[in-house]
Amino acid sequence: MRLFALPLLTFLTCAAAQDTAAPKSGAPVVFEEAKKALKQISPGLFDLNGIQINAATRELRIPCSVLHQKLPIEYALCHETGEKVHETILHTVVRPVEIQLALLLANYQPATQGLLDKLPPTEERPYPPTEETTPATPGANLLAIHCEWMQDGKATRVPLSNFIQNSDTRKTPPDLDTWIFNGSRIDKEGFVAEMTGSIISTYVDRAAIINSSARGNHRDELWISMPDNIPAEETQVTLIITPAGKTGQK
């Protein structure tokens, strides 16, 4: 496992070379601030303003809370001041730039590969072909995401997909368990996710850091929450990110 095997400054210099990993202009300050917040709290375990990073497992633990139980959604997670908080299940005080940086530090690689694999050929592309990117390591942009909270004194852990349903079928799609770390875009204004607050999107949004690759992800009206599976609003939830195919560990 090579997380933090390089000096931190060297690692971040390499990460910045990736197309969407760090700002090219207009936003370097927010990334520099985020880097300064990184602390080692025990051997192999790091904290980045509330995000726990496990060097051995590549697990990230992000503090969140339930904002809405029942609503049409385009997002699973937004920053608490984000533009789309009226369309998200979870929100967080953690800044998007810190989440993107934590993913990079855990050796995930931002790339759009796989995001439009299930787009019907007759449908309009949500973004141009020039934005198609592939990770240097195959599969390094694929994530498993789970949610954990305390219920009746016991920890409950479920896939994030349990909170979401397809409005056509009223079921959770079986292909919603793998998420794409595409990395938010950088434009002349800076790091877009930091401005919009978009972190995890069910509907394809290149401003978001993570997107669903499920069939129908090009339809903004397709996704609704699964109220019976979501804990009460304001419940504190830990969002757990691991490599695709893994459930996360404590």
Q: What is the pLDDT of residue 225?
A: 97
User: Among 97, 103, 7, 1, which Cα is nearest to 53's?
Assistant: 103
Please give the pLDDT value at position 200: 98
> Whole domain around residue 167: which residue ranges?
8-112+138-243
- Looking at the structure of the chain, the number of domains it has is 1
β-strand pairing of 190-191 with 142-151: unpaired
- From residue 97, how far is each of 143, 198, 249 by CA, in Å? 18, 11, 24
In this predicted structure, what is the pLDDT of residue 246?
Answer: 66
- Write out the chain's pLDDT in tens, 250 residues: 445 433 333 334 333 443 344 434 345 666 777 788 899 999 999 999 999 999 999 999 999 999 999 999 999 999 999 999 999 999 999 999 999 999 999 999 999 999 999 999 999 999 999 999 999 999 999 999 999 999 888 999 999 999 999 999 999 999 999 999 999 988 888 889 999 999 999 999 999 999 999 999 999 999 999 999 999 999 999 999 999 976 544 4
SS3 51: strand
Any domain includes 121: no
Please give the angle made by the CA atoms of 57, 161 and 70, to the nearest 5 degrees: 135
- SS3 (DSSP) at 82: coil
User: Per-residue DSSP letters for 156-218?
Assistant: EEEEGGGGEEETTTTB--TT-S-EEE----EETTEEHHHHH-EEEESS--TTSSEEE-STTTT
Angle CA 28–31–34, to nearest 5: 150
Instruction: Give pLDDT, residue 29.
Output: 67
Q: Is residue 195 in some structural domain?
A: yes
With respect to residue 3, please indicate whether it lies within any of the assigned structural domains.
no
Q: Could you tell me if residue 189 is inside a domain?
A: yes
Does a structural domain hold residue 1?
no
**How many whole angstroms from its chain centre is CA 26?**
23
Q: What CA–CA distance (Å, rounded) separates 222 from 236? A: 27
Tokens of 225: 């929450």
What is the per-residue pLDDT for 36?
85
Q: Is residue 62 part of a domain?
A: yes
In a domain, 209, yes or no: yes
Q: Is residue 83 assigned to a domain?
A: yes
Amino acid identity, residue 237? V
